[in-house]
Structure 1
Amino acid sequence: MKQKITFVLSLLFGLFFINAGLDKFFHYMPMPDKISDDMMKAMTGMMAVTWLMPLIAVAEILGGLLIIFPKTRALGALIIVPIMVGILLTNTVTDASGFPIAAVFTAVLLWIIYDNRAKYAPLIEE
């Protein structure tokens, strides 16, 4: 039962990040109507660095794909961690309206990391 729950959560999590990454290339999702001034300034600053959004998009797509499959889930989580930190900080500092969703996705990522903790042991052994 635990494996099925983990698979479903990983599948949804991975598909979310694949969708977010693809949207950065193809812009098929509409922008929200009401965006705070602080969020608009933050997004404008990020868009000014022309290589940043494509890099984030590739990391989201790659991390999302890797998280879906149990064999590569630990690597996918490592790729997604810095992106998730950015999402969490943006929704904490700049505009808190998306914080509940960011907190749920952070909890799922932490569960995936905890579930794969044995695979990370060689990284931290002395």
Structure 2
Amino acid sequence: MKIFKTVLYVLFALMFINAGLNKFLNYMPMPELTPEQIKFFTAFTSITWLMPLVAAVEIIGGLLFLIPRTRALGAIVILPVMVGVIIHHAIIDQSGIIIALVLMAINILAIMDYRSKYEPMIRD
């Protein structure tokens, strides 16, 4: 089970590192967008600092998630991005909701696995 989780966590981390790098380097082709998606991405990119911030959080969170010692921090760093991904796929692009839910489940699994590291933050 430990090897399975390690492979799962590494793949999760690499997906976020790749997604962040793609926002900077644009090496993956953009799929055809619906008018609703075009409207969303136009609004999202009109705030010039927002996409680089999301990309940086994805890369940093993915790198932290990749290293077992910093995985607990990486899981928390990536969590707000995952919430945004879930909301986006629930409202705008339902076709990707399954993979978004799987990624959120992996993130929550990591948070649960490393919950002892969060205890000092929430202790009285």
Pairwise TM-score range, normalised by the shorter structure: over 0.9
Deviations 1:70-112 (A, max 9, x none): 1000000111000000000000011211101101101100100
Q: 1:51 aligns with which of 49, 52, 55?
A: 49
TM-score by length of 2: 0.97
SS in structure 1 at match of 2:30: coil
Instruction: Give 2:20's aligned residue.
Output: 21
Identity %: 48
Instruction: Give 1:111's aligned residue.
Output: 109
Aligned partners of 1:114, 1:40: CA distance in 2, in Å? 36
Aligned partners of 2:67, 2:42: CA distance in 1, in Å? 35
Once the 2 structures are TM-superposed, how far is the Cα of residue 37 of structure 1 from its aligned partner?
Answer: 1.6
Unpaired segments ≥5 residues, structure 2: none
Once the 2 structures are TM-superposed, how far is the Cα of residue 6 of structure 1 from its aligned partner?
Answer: 1.6
SS in structure 1 at match of 2:107: helix
2:60 partner letter: L
Q: 2:96 aligns with which of 85, 93, 98?
A: 98
SS in structure 1 at match of 2:38: helix
CA contact (8 A) 1:63 1:76 kept: yes
Instruction: Give 1:42's aligned residue.
Output: 40
Aligned partners of 1:97, 1:36: CA distance in 2, in Å? 12
2:112 partner letter: Y
Query: 83-92 vs 4-13, which deviates more?
Result: 4-13
Instruction: Give 1:120's aligned residue.
Output: 118
TM-score by length of 1: 0.95
CA contact (8 A) 1:14 1:64 kept: yes
1:4 partner letter: I
CA RMSD, 1 decimal: 0.8
Runs of 4+ in 1 over 3 A off after TM superposition: none
Instruction: Give 1:3's aligned residue.
Output: 2
Unpaired segments ≥5 residues, structure 1: none
